[in-house]
Amino acid sequence: MSAVTQTPAAASADARKAGDWLLIATVILLGVWVLLPIYLLIVNALSSPEQVTAFPKRFFPAFDTGSLSFFINFAGVARALWNSVLVATLTMILSIGFGAPAGYALSRFDFPGKGTFRFLVLMTRAFPLPLLALPLAVMFIRTGLDDTAIGLALVHTTLALPFAVLITFSLFSGIPVELEEAAWTLGCTRLQAFRKVILPLALPGIAASAVFAFTISWNEVFAAAVLTIENRTLTAFLLQSLGESPLYLKFAGGAALVVPALIFIFAVRKYLFAMWGIANR
Amino acid sequence: MHGKALPYLLLMPATLFLCVFFLYPFVLVAFEALTRDGAFTLDNFRAMAGSWKFPVTVRNTLLLAAIVVPIQLVMALLMASVVSRLETGRSAALYIFAIPLGISDLAAGLIWLAIFDQSGFLNTLLAHLGVVDRPIMFLGYQSKLTIFIAVALAEIWRATAIMMVILVAGMGLIPKEYYEAAEVFGAGPWKRFVRITLPLLRPSLQTAIILRVILAFEVFAVVAALGGTNLPVLMGETYNWQFTLQDRNVAAASALLILAISIGFTLFFLRVLRVPKEARI
């Protein structure tokens, strides 16, 4: 009798256990799918040029800096790295500088035209923005912005600005207006209240969205390749030398692109989901 | 008076910026596509469509999107559901799954080049397993199918994360009570997923699909890294018209075509997956 009553319970416990194992196995499998290709690139980057072109390959890095030092000393690479950092920094400054005030305005005021502005910002998400580099190339030649870091940074800012606006909007919305109002009643001006009360609270989030803007620019390929000739960024440099560069240069370059990106993503991991979740509603 | 003007003052930099670097280039690109030497003409579109590569290019781009996006949707749903059921290690799993978000499409192409290259890791594995005795040329000009598969894999690897993140954010909004109620009435995990998760996830699904489809038409650097010119896609051809063939007007026509396809699909998914106001959570 007792056996009959126990069996369903035991079966469901078994099923649950099997389900748990399946869950863990799936997570591990998906994790390997994401990490293994990156690992293989790093193996290549940490091998000597001969090992990279040799066959068959080793699945473990030889910790040889041959490829990397070849890459760093290759003509144009150091400059391309510097240009990438410069453009990304400018993009970061521009997108936060323009985006954060807009985000604050959206979170604190109700005014005619608010809907239109939000629509304009959201619309940018529905267009392949790097294409805009094509007409801008002509405009930049006329205005002397062609082949400059600031010119490219302006285009990258169109990519990063919508994120900056939406992210700072949600950041400021999360800080109670009452805090600001309390500061006003205690004699602060609007600017003082913002600087002394709101800014310290919002700063970590703003920093995260700045890192995000930096990463967007750091990774962008098409506009960078269209708009730069002499002052190529790392992505533009790698793209334009794909045809002739040896394998070990490509892999070392790929690693040089990936490793900083991994660090950026790790630095903002706490905000990653909030940001993408919000930025795409 | 000051209070009334303030929001507009705060929005002004971002608005002006978007007008100059987002709206104006659109007008410019349309203008360039529709004129040649100052006169209105459709010749640019004729030149674009008349190129022998054009049908292949359109077919490759659409086929790639049609194959990659559904697979990514399923994988992103799997990742998101697995993560939401995880009790320990949830944030670590999320971080790992989100890593490709921060990786440039060029770097993703180079990562998969390390695998598919003739002296790469796939050939090494096949040789160790004794399947092949000589490395196979996966990415040669004669092996269009393997190039296509490599590009599709790299795209799936790179851009599933963006859908996953949006879906995870969306799943977080579904009230737990619904699942508890369904469980009480005896609905299994699959039934709960189909009857609760999927319908309530519709707004997020819509965003994720639209964003991803647009990105799919922008595919460029992954193809450049893996296939060179052996697998022409729209964005790559646009780049070619601009640089190799030095014809800005046809490049603009090509860009306009990508824009038109993107907008067309955006409207299509907005309509098909539309969520009535009352049904939102």
Q: pLDDT tens digits for B224-270?
A: 999 878 889 999 999 988 888 888 889 999 999 998 998 899 889 88
Same domain, A154 and A247: yes
Give me the sign of the Cα torsion angle B228, B230, B235, B241: positive
Same domain, A38 and A141: no
Q: Do A276 and B128 touch (CB under 8 A)?
A: no
Between these two residues, A11 and B215, which has the higher pLDDT value? B215
Q: Give the residue-averaged pLDDT of A125-154.
A: 87
- Residue A56 belongs to some domain of the structure: no
Nearest to B105 among A27, A158, A221 (CB): A221
Question: Which range has the worst mean pLDDT, B24-28, B50-54, B81-85, B132-136?
Answer: B132-136
Q: What is the pLDDT of residue B148?
A: 93
Element (H, E) at A223: helix A222-227
A253-279 pLDDT, tens digit each = 999 999 998 898 888 887 776 666 555
CATH number assigned to the domain with residue range B28-279, chosen from the 4 options 1.10.3720.10, 3.90.870.10, 3.40.50.970, 1.10.10.10: 1.10.3720.10
A144-177 pLDDT, tens digit each = 888 899 999 999 999 999 888 988 888 888 888 8
Same domain, A10 and A143: no
What CA–CA distance (Å, rounded) separates B237 from A250?
Answer: 22
- Residue A54 belongs to some domain of the structure: no
DSSP letters spanning A117-165? HHHHHHHGGGS-GGGGHHHHHHHHHHHT-TT-HHHHHHHHHHHHHHHHH
Same domain, A21 and A94: no
If one counts every other C-beta atom within 10 angstroms of the C-beta of residue B190, the result is 8
Q: Give the residue-averaged pLDDT of B27-48.
A: 88
- Residue A57 belongs to some domain of the structure: no
Same domain, A90 and A40: no
B161-197 pLDDT, tens digit each = 989 988 988 888 888 889 889 989 888 888 889 988 9
- pLDDT at B150 exceeding the cut of 90: yes
Q: Which two tokens stand for residue B48?
A: 């674009």
- pLDDT at A90 exceeding the cut of 70: yes
Q: How many Cα atoms sit within 13 Å of B185 on the Cβ side? A: 9
Q: Identify the band that residue A3 occupies on the pLDDT scale cut at 50, 70 and 90.
A: very low
Say which amino acid occupies A239: L
Ordered by start, the domain boundaries in chain B are: 28-279
What CA–CA distance (Å, rounded) separates A58 from A47?
Answer: 9
Same domain, A114 and A198: yes
Q: What is the pLDDT of residue B66?
A: 94
Q: What is the pLDDT of residue B279?
A: 61
What CA–CA distance (Å, rounded) separates B113 from A247?
Answer: 9
Same domain, A166 and A244: yes
For residue A29, what are the domain limits?
Answer: 2-45
A56-79 pLDDT, tens digit each = 778 888 888 888 888 888 888 999
- Residue A61 belongs to some domain of the structure: no
Q: Does the model's ipTM exceed the 0.95 cut?
A: no
DSSP E strand boundaries for chain A: none
Is the distance from CB of A184 to CB of A245 less than 8 angstroms?
no
Q: Do A26 and B95 touch (CB under 8 A)?
A: no
Q: Among residues of chain A, what percentage have pLDDT more than 70?
A: 93
- pLDDT at B34 exceeding the cut of 50: yes
Nearest to A215 among B96, B102, B119 (CB): B102
Same domain, A28 and A81: no
Q: How many Cα atoms sit within 13 Å of B46 on the Cβ side? A: 5
Same domain, A160 and A104: yes
- The shares of helix, strand and coil residues in chain B, as percent rounded to the nearest 5, are 75, 0, 20
Give the pTM. 0.88
- Residue A202 belongs to some domain of the structure: yes
Chain A residue numbers with beta carbons less than 8 Å from the beta carbon of B211 are: 125, 280
As a whole number, the mean pLDDT across chain B is: 88
Between these two residues, A126 and B59, which has the higher pLDDT value? B59
Domain count, chain A: 2
Q: Do A242 and B118 touch (CB under 8 A)?
A: no
Nearest to B103 among A139, A253, A261 (CB): A261
Is the distance from CB of B93 to CB of A27 less than 8 angstroms?
yes
Q: What is the pLDDT of residue A36?
A: 94
Same domain, A141 and A202: yes
Q: Identify the band that residue B42 occupies on the pLDDT scale cut at 50, 70 and 90.
A: confident
B86-104 pLDDT, tens digit each = 888 888 888 899 899 889 9
Chain B residue numbers with beta carbons less than 8 Å from the beta carbon of A35 are: 96, 99
CB-defined contacts A:B, below 8 A: 282
